[in-house]
Amino acid sequence: MTDGITAYGSMNEHIAAAAIKAGRAPESVTLVAVTKTHGPELIRPLLEAGHRVFGENRVQEAQGKWPELRKAFPGIELHLIGPLQSNKAREAVALFDVIESVDRDKIAAALAAEMKRQQKSPKLYVQVNTGLEPQKAGVPPSEVGVFLKRIRHEHGLELEGLMCIPPAEDQPAQHFALLARLARENGLAVISMGMSGDYEEAIAHGATHIRVGSALFGARS
Ligand SMILES: *Cc1c(COP(=O)(O)O)cnc(C)c1O
């Protein structure tokens, strides 16, 4: 797995360079290593190198590999970056430290109930559908402020950040700028945006969390 470690090393250098170029501290950007579809044999080398922040897009898949890795490597921070169904809220609250895909009242209600029941408070981000794509999850940009207020009042949930996945066919810059502006307007410190192909641009626009899979682990089959 020398390859994975080499990619990880150069990724950290690229992140630091992009941050400095944007006048930001390299530590202000967190790399969420996206391990969906990959097994522990690809994940372990990163854990052994000291990396602790990972992302998965499916609850069930994450349940199959992370409990064991957590036992072996203390301090893991696991992010759910894929859509969440309310009937999976129990498992999601039990397994994840950060849930990036809150986008509906029903999900917020289910999460609030589970967080109370389990006495566990994963950090929560709102997914924003910056491209208003009908097939994509996320709150429309114009409704983010109202959504945040409503789930604060109705469920007592404080959300920490915003997340987006720009349309594949668009230049990502306009979407990154929009998400950063929405975070600023709503007083949110966390901005999760940027993937393998565009993380440097996301950092230039203020991303605090970038979600990178294939640039670290190779193409997914
Ligand atoms: C898979 C995935 C990523 C990582 O994508 P790469 O292009 O492999 O870096 C980032 N965010 C989300 C929500 C994903 O599902």
Burial class (CB in 10 A: 0-12, 13-18, 19+), 175: buried
Q: Is the pLDDT of residue 64 over 80?
A: yes
Q: How confident is the model at residue 117 (pLDDT cuts 50, 70, 90)?
A: very high
The answer to whether 33 and 212 are in contact (CB under 8 A) is: yes
Q: Indicate which residue's Cα is closest to atom 10 of ligand 1.
A: 211
Is residue 81 lining ligand 1, measured as CB closer than 6 Å?
A: yes
The answer to whether 163 and 181 are in contact (CB under 8 A) is: no
Q: How confident is the model at residue 13 (pLDDT cuts 50, 70, 90)?
A: very high
Q: Is the pLDDT of residue 200 over 50?
A: yes
C-alpha closest to that of 99 among 119, 80, 76: 80
Average pLDDT over residues 59-75: 97
Burial class (CB in 10 A: 0-12, 13-18, 19+), 117: exposed
Pocket test for ligand 1, best of 15, 192, 211, 216 (most atoms within 8 A of CB): 211
* Integer angstrom CA distances of residue 62 from 17, 106, 110, 152, 199: 31, 22, 19, 28, 24
Is residue 196 lining ligand 1, measured as CB closer than 6 Å?
A: yes
Q: Would the pTM of this model clear 0.75, i.e. be above it?
A: yes
pLDDT at position 220: 87
Q: How many CA atoms does the CB half-sphere of 38 hold within 13 Å?
A: 23
> What confidence tens digit (pLDDT) does each residue in 125-143 have?
999 999 999 999 999 999 9
pLDDT at position 4: 79
C-alpha closest to that of 141 among 162, 121, 170, 114: 162
Tokens encoding 6: 């080499």
Minimum-distance ligand 1 atom for the alpha carbon of 82 = 13
The answer to whether 163 and 126 are in contact (CB under 8 A) is: yes
Average pLDDT over residues 45-58: 97
Q: How far is the CA of 211 from the centre of ligand 1 (A)?
A: 6
Provide the 10 A C-beta neighbour count for residue 154: 12
pLDDT at position 3: 76
Average pLDDT over residues 178-199: 98
Q: How confident is the model at residue 58 (pLDDT cuts 50, 70, 90)?
A: very high
Average pLDDT over residues 86-98: 97
- Cα 23 from Cα 130, distance rounded (Å): 25
**Residue 125, C-beta contacts closer than 8 angstroms, at least 6 positions apart:** 98, 99, 100, 101, 102, 159, 160, 161, 162, 163, 190, 192
